A and B are shown apart, each in its own frame.
Chain A
């Protein structure tokens, strides 16, 4: 592309301001030449349908020019961006970014995504931690016999260097949970130049994170925010070397054959209560704590929330106990400090409810059998928990993941084998012997195994969430010198 010949002629860009009636926050695209306010803008509404932001929608030409700029930019030296990322993480979590204080940012995210504000706050803290520890995280993913730099003594006489598989990394982000944005910081750390396409449902988090990173010194030609419609979004994946795409089953299926696209789909996380009868009342109570928190923490909107509980023995008492503990959760607007359940526009909530009730037909509902929608009276509705018991471990409903605390409880016995436990991002197994754990860890259809009272959503710094992203981004390259 030819360089700038004229003074920049983008439309004037002002800092985002607080959302107020008739004055939505402007979320500009962040291109290689700075912020760009498109004439074509998507209205971002809160859960009551009120417009709170306008998200610029860039045309294909802007995307193509952005990707060309990323490709032309010099990759960062090893380790160079880590400090900047850590600073940006701090600013993201505590500072005023692009004119928006952290508290206002969190309120807006909860208002548009319906995710309880407390969950947004903890996600903010998680992004901050991820940013602070990103260098250690990527180092932890590096094969042990591989050097981080070709000058390392390991390569004398022949060795392996950890090398990027490409230059430009694209992310099609999800809008279900702000935490998804901690992951691509690893690509930036590894020297990738990154383009993030935000979700139209919750664009605040990526906009804020990209802005913070740019304010702290990541070059405008190394990190872009490219909000755009579905059609042009495909161009971002086509134009990048490697991509991370969040989506449902259809998206996962679409990219199944693409070696350069990593998909993050539904988690279908599960809990296996392998022998609850033997541990006594205290053990059962503690196991139930783990089960309930796996279902409801994070508002039940994350891919690591448990969607199925398999019980060796009679599932009915377990389902009853879960239902009892979930029944009392309050229905509150998402920005309320005490909110724990997700909120959606009422019409959308009703669609989910109809779907759930249809799927639950013939099963035994312990909670939510009469519906899960609790209207707040302002056009929005709380999605209340559902607990539904199935009569066999291979019932198809076990694979249904819905964006609120919704769990399917089914019987399981060792004779049923691992089949019902496959297709799982996180499996928490409570009880059972070492041999069972061995089989679960060996099973490729189970992403992560938590043994004992560790909820499915527990995230530990340095512990991969769905494999290390770096396993996809990097390869070992021979260097002999």
Chain B
């Protein structure tokens, strides 16, 4: 039987709740024996603090260990809060890309999807994105989350959706095995499929990853079609460096709005590009459900605003609790929008590796 949660957890989309009230309500929900998930109730017994007593404010989230690695093995069913009772609607079980080992997985509940889609659709309205457009999504579907989210976003906005599926794990495998040519052939295959749609349909919104968009930009014919038809390019799934973003905006797709999303399976959605992000691409998360901290990876302390650090992510909703996950991404710490929890981030990029080898032999 379903148990009512504190209404602060399901605040109306036009309001931002008091952060402390919100966090405390979430702790009550996820750690009460009647409402918490089997996973968290079990895990709580191993914590050296009591979340309901000790986690009162945003900074207290640091008390939690990073549990995402456990999501490789935990039965997805155990992640669902018992408070939903028999009314649970699990849309799907979605997985991370598997870059750092075996995939991690989360259970995705319908009420959270509805909240996220409502919020993100609002951000699109603010930017004047079209309603009723035909969307072309050249992105991964299951086991990844993004395809499902985009299908619902398009539907919410009265759109049609065409999808060209992309398997990022296969691409990563090809590249890891030194078969870059095979990865390139696969990408050309995807673009060819996209071309049929761009040629014959009135595509108004293109959803795509930066690497694929970069490949698309090599085809003059496709660039022309996108500039003629597409009004918004929504990109996510990989980082876009500031120089490429500048070139896309000013030279390659000057008439198209570029709308970046920064997401992760481990926060069950994404953050969206702040309107008016000119020089640097700022992402604002769906606070307080999603919050970021940009920290020094050594000390785990926040870096100053404007400095680079590693991104820590938190997801807090009625449907899930995934706190304190140190991501591999590096970003600039940005002041959040007024009244929001945590940080906003800009110019996200993967952790850099440096070429510091000393070349001994030879004179070059």
Interface residues of A (CB under 8 A from B): 1-2, 4-6, 9-10, 33, 38-40, 58-62, 64-65, 68, 174-177, 229-230, 246-249, 251, 265-267, 301-303, 305, 348, 351-352, 355, 400-403
Given A1-B252, A2-B227, A4-B251, are A60 and B363 also a contact pair (CB < 8 Å)? no
A176 touches B355 (CB 8 A): no
Q: Are A266 and B361 in contact (CB under 8 A)?
A: yes
B249-275: CB near A (< 8 Å → 1, else 0) gives 011101100000000000000000000
Contact check, A39 vs B217: say whether CB atoms are below 8 A apart.
no
B250: chain A residues within 8 A (beta carbon): 6, 9-10
The reply to whether A65 and B252 form a contact with Cβ atoms under 8 Å apart is: yes
Distance (whole angstroms) from the CB of A32 to the closest CB of chain B = 10
When chains A and B are docked, how far (Å) is the Cα of A59 from the Cα of B210? 12
Complex CA distance for A64 and B251, rounded to whole angstroms: 13
Main secondary structure of the interface of A (DSSP, over half): loop
Q: A38 CA to B247 CA in the complex, in Å?
A: 10
5 nearest A-B residue pairs (beta carbon): A248-B362, A266-B362, A9-B250, A174-B364, A59-B244
From B228, which residue of chain A is reached at the shortest CB distance?
A2
Closest to B355 in A: A230
Instruction: Given A59-B241, A62-B243, decide whether A247 and B362 contact each other with a Cβ distance below 8 A.
Output: yes
Q: Across the interface, which residues of B come within 8 angstroms of A402, CB to CB?
A: 360-361, 363
Q: Is B214 an interface residue (CB 8 A)?
A: yes
B254 proximity list for chain A (CB < 8 A): 5-6
Q: Cβ of B241: which chain A residues have Cβ within 8 Å of it? A: 39-40, 59
Beta-carbon contacts of B210-240 to A below 8 Å, as 1s and 0s? 0000100110100110010000000000000
Complex interface: chain B residues within 8 A of A1 (CB): 217, 220, 223, 252
Can you list 24 A-B pairs, Cβ within 8 angstroms, ordered by A?
Answer: A1-B220, A2-B252, A5-B255, A33-B251, A38-B243, A39-B279, A61-B214, A61-B244, A62-B244, A64-B218, A68-B220, A176-B363, A176-B364, A246-B364, A247-B362, A248-B361, A248-B364, A249-B361, A249-B362, A266-B363, A266-B364, A355-B360, A401-B362, A402-B363
Of the candidates B218, B227, B363, the one whose C-beta lies within 8 Å of that of A68 is B218
Cα distance A303–B363 when bound, in Å? 7
Nearest B residue to A176 via CB reads: B363
Q: Kindly state whether residue B300 has any CB partner on chain A within 8 Å.
A: no
> Once the chains are docked, how many angstroms separate the CA of A58 from the CA of B247?
10
Instruction: Give the residues in chain B near A355, CB-CB below 8 Å.
Output: 360
Q: Please report the C-alpha to C-alpha distance between residue A303 and residue B361 in the assembled complex, in whole angstroms.
A: 12
| In the assembled complex, B338 has its CB within 8 A of some CB on chain A | no
Cα distance A58–B363 when bound, in Å? 26
Our pick among A4, A65, A248, A305 for the contact of B359 (Cβ within 8 Å) is: A248
Contact yes or no, A265 B362, CB < 8 A: yes
CA distance A64 to B220 in the complex (A): 12
Tell me, in angstroms, the Cα distance from A9 to B218 when the chains sit together: 20
Question: CB-nearest residue of chain B relative to A399?
Answer: B361
| A303→B243 CA distance, assembly (Å) | 36
